[in-house]
Amino acid sequence: MTLQHDAERIPTGRQVRHLTDGIQNARAGRGLGSVLSDVWYAVVTVGLCTAFVTGIAQSLRDAAPDAGETTVALTGELPGALVAMAALGALLSLAGRLGPVGLGGGGAAWWLPMPIDRRGLLRPTVVRWPLVAAATGLVLVPLLVTMVGGTGSVGLVLRWAAFGAAVFGAAVAGAEVAQVHPRGSRWVAAAGEALLLVTALAFAAIALLGLATDGWALGAGWWAAVPLVLLAVAGTVVAERRTPELSGARLRAQGSLGDRAQVAVLSLDLRELGHALSASTGRARRRSVRLRAGGPRRAIVLADLMLLVRSPRPLVQIVVATLFAVAAGKVALTSGGLALYGVWLLTGFWAASSAAGGARQADMAPVLDRLLPLSARDARLVRGVVPLLAAVVWAVPTFAVHASRTGETGWLLVAPAWALVVAAAAVRAAYRPAPRWTASTVSSPMGGVPPTGGMFKGLDVALVGTLPTAVAAFLGGMPDALPNIQHLWALTVAAVLAAASGRRRKRT
C-alpha cells in the first residue's frame, strides 16, 4: 500500500517539464504576451529577409550579362528544386550529427536521473525538429525556386511552399524514427550527405550538358504534400512513443553536441561550430596504417591527409563546392558579373576550409607542432599543403569550364593564383583567435555576444587576393593583360605571407 501510494505521488514527465518551464518563465518575467511578441518578431523578420533577398536576386539577375548561344542560363523550376534538395541533404546531415533528439544542459543533469517517464520530458524536443524543418522548407524552397530559376508567381510560391514544408518535415520525422537504432544517426547523416552529393551532381550535369529545364514544373503534383504531411505526423508520433528506448548516455551526448553548436552560433564562432559538427558520439572503427614520415614536414602532411581521407564529410563538401562553382555560370542569377565572383569566392573558400581540419586541430591542441623542430611560420605553411590540394581540385575545373564557356583563355592563368589565395585564407581562418569571453559583449540581434577577435579573419585575405578577378567580373570580361600583370601574383604572395604570420601561443 505504501509503495503504491508513493508511486501515485510521483509526478509525470509532463508535469516536471511544465513545473520547470513555469519557474524559468517566472524568473525571466515571461508570459503569453512575450511569447506572442517573439513569434510576431520572427514572422516579420523572416518576411523582411525574404523580401530583401528576393530584391537583391532580381537586381543581380537584371545586371547579369545576356547569355549567348553557348551560354544559355538555366531557367524554370528544376534548378531551384535541385538546390532545395541539396539544402534538405544538408539539413538531414545536421539532424543526424546533432541528434536529432537530445537532452543537454540542466535537463540532462536533473531530469534524466528522475524516476519519471521520458516521453513527457522529450515530447517538445521530438516535436520541435519536424516543425523547424517544415518552417525551413516553407520559406527556403519557394525562395530558392524563385531566385535560381528566375521565375515566380503567387501560385508557384504557394505550391512550392506547401511541398517544401511537407518534404522537409517528413524527412526529419523519419530521421527521428531512425535514431532509435544504435547506428540510426550515422545512417541519417550519411543519407543527407549522399543526397547533397547526388543533387549537386545532377545540377552540374544539367548545367554542363545544356539540358532544357523549362518544360519541368511542379504543377498539380503539389498535392503530394498531403500524404507527406500525414507521413510526417505519423513519423513524429512513432518517434515520440519510442523515446524511452533511447539511453540516457546517448541523450546526454547528443544534447551536449546541440548545446555546443548553439553556443558556437550565438557567439559567432564558426570554427567551434565546425568542431561540433565534426564530432562523433558513436564508436569509430579505424584501420591502422603504417606510414613512413621521413621528416617533420612530411609527417604533418601525411597526418592531415589521413584526417581528410578518414572524414567523408569534408570530401563531400569539396566535391559539392566544385560542382556548384562549375555550374554557377549556367544559372540565370549567377551567369556573370559580381554574382559569379561571389559564388567563386564562397565555394573556393568552402572547399579549402573543408580540407583545413588539420590546421584547426593544430590550433586547438598544438601538441604535435610543438614537438617537431619547426617554427610557427613553417608549421603553418606545411599545414596549408592539404588545403592547397583541395583548392587546386576546385580551381582547375571551375576556371577551365568558365574559359571554355566564354572563350577567354586568360581565366586559366588565374586558377593557380586563386588556389593559393583560398588555401592561404583557409589556413589563416583556422588559426583565428578564439572569442574573448572576458571582454565586453557586443550587441547583436541575438543578444550580447563576446568579441570574436577575428570572425572574418581569412575571408579578408581571400577578398584582397582575388581583387583583380572582382574587377574583371565587374567590367564584364577578362582583360588580356590582367593575368600577366605583377600585382596579381603580388597579392597572392601577400596572402600566403599573411596566412603564415603568427607566433605560438603561450602555454596555460
Write the DSSP assignment of 431-452 as a string of letters: TPPPP-TTSPPB--TTS-B---
Residue 69: its pLDDT value, please?
44
DSSP letters spanning 38-93 = HHHHHHHHHHHHHHHHHHHHHHHHHHSPPP-SS-PPB-SSHHHHHHHHHHHHHHHH
Q: How many CA atoms lie within 13 A of 134 on its CB side?
A: 19
Identify the DSSP state of 287: -
What sign does the dihedral 144-186-105-242 (CA atoms) show? positive
Q: Given this model, what pLDDT does residue 322 score? A: 93
pLDDT at 377: 80
Alpha carbons 475 and 494: distance in angstroms, whole number: 24
Q: Which three cell numbers stand for residue 489?
A: 601574383
pLDDT confidence of residue 321:
93
Distance, CA of 307 to CA of 309 (rounded, Å): 6
**How many Cβ atoms sit within 10 Å of the Cβ of residue 127?**
16
Domain layout of the chain by residue ranges: 37-66, 72-279, 295-434+448-508
Distance of alpha carbon 144 from alpha carbon 138, whole angstroms: 11
Beta bridge partners of 74: 331
Sign of the CA dihedral with 254 first, then 257, 259, and 261 last: negative
- pLDDT confidence of residue 489: 60
Q: How many whole angstroms separate alpha carbon 443 and alpha carbon 439?
A: 13
Retrieve residue 159's grid coordinates. Answer: 505550391
Provide the residue type at 444 as one letter: S
Decide: 343 and 328 in contact? Cβ < 8 Å.
yes
Q: What is the pLDDT of residues 147-184, one digit of tens each?
A: 776 666 777 788 888 888 999 999 999 888 888 887 87
In the chain, the amino acid numbered 311 is: S
Is-contact 195 89, C-beta < 8 A?
yes
Q: Given this model, what pLDDT does residue 63 score?
A: 58
pLDDT for 396: 92
> Cis bond leading into 142, ω under 30°?
no
Q: What was the pLDDT predicted at 126?
A: 84
DSSP state of 466: T
pTM of the model: 0.80
Select from 486, 49, 99, 450 the least CA-distant residue to 272: 450
Q: What is the pLDDT of residues 1-43, one digit of tens each?
A: 444 445 556 666 666 666 666 666 565 555 556 656 666 666 6
Residues 334, 336, 342, 344, CA torsion sign: positive
Q: Are 232 and 134 in contact (CB under 8 A)?
A: yes
Nearest alpha-carbon partner for 189 in 109, 259, 90: 90
How far is Cα of residue 4 from the mean position of the Cα atoms in its chain?
A: 52
Ranges in the chain, pLDDT < 50:
1-5, 67-70, 281-282, 284-285, 484-486, 506-508
Q: Contact at 8 Å (CB) between 289 and 309?
A: no
Q: What are phi and psi of 283, to 5 degrees?
A: -85, 120
